[in-house]
Structures are given as C-alpha cells and as structure tokens.
Amino acid sequence: MAISAATGSAAGFISAQLRVQQAERNADQAEASARVLRRAASNAQREADSAQESARTLKVRSDQAQSNAGLARQQVTSMTQLQSVQQGFEAIRTQVADRLSSLDAAAAPTVNAEGQTTGVLVNVTA
C-alpha cells in the first residue's frame, strides 16, 4: 500500500504541477493576447484621431467654401445692380443730350430794333 500511496501522491503532485504549468501558459497567452489587443486598440485610436482631425479640416474648408460662395453671390447681385444703374444713367444722359440739342436747334436768331438779325440772344446779367 505504501507504494501505491507514494505512486498516487507522486501522480497527484505531477498532475498539480501540470495544471500549474498549464495555468501559467494560459496566463502567458492571455497576457500576449492582451498586448496584441492593446496595440490594436492604440492603432485604432490613432486612426480615429487622425480621421477626426481630417473631418475637422474638411469642415473648416467646407465653411470657407460656403463663405466664398456667399461672397460670389453678393458680387453677382452688386454687379447686376450696378449694371442697371449704369443703364439708367445712360438713358438719362441720352435724354439730356437730346433735349439740349433740341434747345440748340430751336434757338431763333434775335432781331434788333432796326429789324436786323443779330444772332442768338444771350443773357449777360449777372
């Protein structure tokens, strides 16, 4: 029985050692897996940060483009209004020129007391 007990005790010890070794291997594998996952998470975080920065940059550029588009629309409106005002001034200038030329054409010569034509009457009173 002593041999049997010693054999059983040795087998139990070896079995316990194998379980400890297996547990250590499992722990080592879990730690290695945790390191790999930590690196992957760190890489993913860097990529997410980079993507977020790119998104912010695109937002700023989009806002600037929108502002530029608004300014361009205002310039088109201003140019259209300016063109309309210029056309109005041109019409007024044409009307004034027409009226002045009609005044020049309608001016009759002045006749003096002897009945002689002397030219156009000019008002020289000041």
pLDDT in tens, 19-52: 999 999 999 999 999 999 999 999 999 999 999 9
For residue 117, give the nearest of 105, 108, 104 by alpha carbon: 108
Beta-bridge partner residues of 111: 117
Q: 101: pLDDT confidence band, cut at 50, 70 and 90?
A: confident
Q: 12: pLDDT confidence band, cut at 50, 70 and 90?
A: confident
Q: What is the mean pLDDT of the chain?
A: 87
For residue 44, give the nearest of 14, 28, 36, 87 by alpha carbon: 36
**What is the torsional sign of CA 13, 19, 20, 25?**
positive
Are 86 and 97 in contact, with CB atoms under 8 Å apart?
no
- pLDDT of res. 88: 95
Q: Give this prediction's pTM.
A: 0.50
pLDDT at residue 94 is higher than 90: yes
Are 112 and 121 in contact, with CB atoms under 8 Å apart?
no
- pLDDT of res. 102: 76
